Structure 1
Amino acid sequence: MIRLLLADDQALVRGALSALLNLEPDIEVVAEVGSGLDVVAAARSSSPDVAMLDIEMPGMDGIAATAALREALPDVRVLIVTTFGRPGYLRRALQAGASGFVVKDTPAAQLAEAVRRVAQGLRVVDPELATDSLMTGDSPLSPRETEVLQAARDGSSAAAIAGRLFLSEGTVRNHLSAAIGKTGATNRAEAVRLAESNGWL
């Protein structure tokens, strides 16, 4: 029997996935959580073989939760299931230690098969996403440019971003300018949008 932990902030989606996968004769959902922050604790108490994580969750996203889980309990394998099939997400998830990455509209039978394959130690990646990821390539942004662009998501001024990140305003402007250039954007709002659509943020 494959013991499965589910993490998704949408209760309806989590419940549907749980109901579908519990119908499989060899899969048992042993824990369900709604935040990335709860993944490691839930895994410690329920001893799953596989953790199925959504990417966009409050507190800690699925990619950060993957890294935390792999560090705390390296025997637990991670399958990312997301609505957002962005190539940058795939690359970052695999770098964080995920064994699989599929989109939520995957048919139930294929999803169950993905859980089985990941439990066996195999890698499962949505083929279309894998192709897109190869075509898009790595994020052109440096870690600091990524951090500054993330802070600019809410439209904050350079001064506000500088205060939050403990940088000078000039440094923030330089990083924003570099990020705009590297993404091929015309302004920082467009740079944020392009970086998000590629899964770089």
Structure 2
Amino acid sequence: MIKVLIADDQDLVRGGLAALLGLEDDIEVVAEVGRGDEVPAATAEHDPDVVLLDIEMPGLSGLEVAERLRDRRVIIVTTFGRAGYLNRALEAGVAGFVVKDAPAAELAAAVRRVMAGEQVIDPKLAVSALTTGPSPLTQREAEVLRMASGEPTVAAIARRLFLTEGTVRNYLSSAIGKTGARNRAEAVRVAEERGWL
């Protein structure tokens, strides 16, 4: 039996994935959690063969969890089929990346293939990732841009990140240029759409 842990913050989705995989003769869902920060403890307790992670969860994102579980077989199962997310997931060492609108049989097949040592990537997303390329943002530019989506002023961002206002403006200006945006709100939108944040 292939033991699987499912982490998704939406109860209905998590339950649906568990029910679908539970129909397979060779797959057993050993744990379900609704927060990213619950995954490490559940993994230690249940010792799954494969961990299925959503990207956007409270506590820790699926990408942050994947970074911490590099010694495990991890498949990202997400609604957000963005090339930037795929690139970041591959950097985190995931074994698979499947979008939620894929047929149910594909998920079970992906679990089996990952268990066999293969890497499974949604083909359309792989092509998109190759044509889009990696994020042009530095880690600090991404951090400032991420903060800009929730903070109304440069001064507030500077206080939160312990930077000067001039430094924050420089990072924002650079990020705006790299995203081809006209302003910081548009830069945030572009970066989020491409999975760079």
**Is TM > 0.5 for Structure 1 vs Structure 2?**
yes
1:130-177 CA distances to partner (integer Å, 9 max, x unpaired)?
000001001111111000000001242100000000000000000000
> Are 1:38 and 2:38 counterparts?
yes
User: Aligned residue for 1:2?
Assistant: 2
Query: Where does structure 1 lack aligned partners over 5 or more consecutive residues?
Result: none
Equivalent-residue separation in structure 2 for 1:156 and 1:141 (angstroms): 21
Equivalent-residue separation in structure 1 for 2:134 and 2:47 (angstroms): 34
RMSD over aligned CA atoms reads 0.6
SS across alignment from 2:48: coil
> Are 1:98 and 2:100 counterparts?
no
Where do 1:48-87 residues align within 5 Å?
48-70=48-70, 74=71, 76-87=72-83
CA contact (8 A) 1:8 1:53 kept: yes
Alpha-carbon offset, residue 59 of structure 1: 1.2
User: Aligned residue for 2:195?
Assistant: 199
CA contact (8 A) 2:151 2:157 kept: no
Equivalent-residue separation in structure 1 for 2:116 and 2:159 (angstroms): 47
1:144 to 134, 140, 157: 140
User: Aligned residue for 2:16?
Assistant: 16
CA contact (8 A) 2:73 2:115 kept: yes
1:31-63 CA distances to partner (integer Å, 9 max, x unpaired)?
000011011100000010000000010111000
Alpha-carbon offset, residue 86 of structure 1: 0.3
AA of the residue aligned to 1:147: E
Q: Percent identity?
A: 65
User: Aligned residue for 2:25?
Assistant: 25
User: Aligned residue for 1:168?
Assistant: 164
Query: Where does structure 2 lack aligned partners over 5 or more consecutive residues?
Result: none
CA contact (8 A) 1:39 1:69 kept: no
When the two structures are superposed, what TM-score results if normalisation uses the length of structure 2? 0.99
Equivalent-residue separation in structure 2 for 1:182 and 1:141 (angstroms): 7
Equivalent-residue separation in structure 1 for 2:120 and 2:187 (angstroms): 31
CA contact (8 A) 1:4 1:29 kept: yes
When the two structures are superposed, what TM-score results if normalisation uses the length of structure 1? 0.97
SS across alignment from 1:138: coil
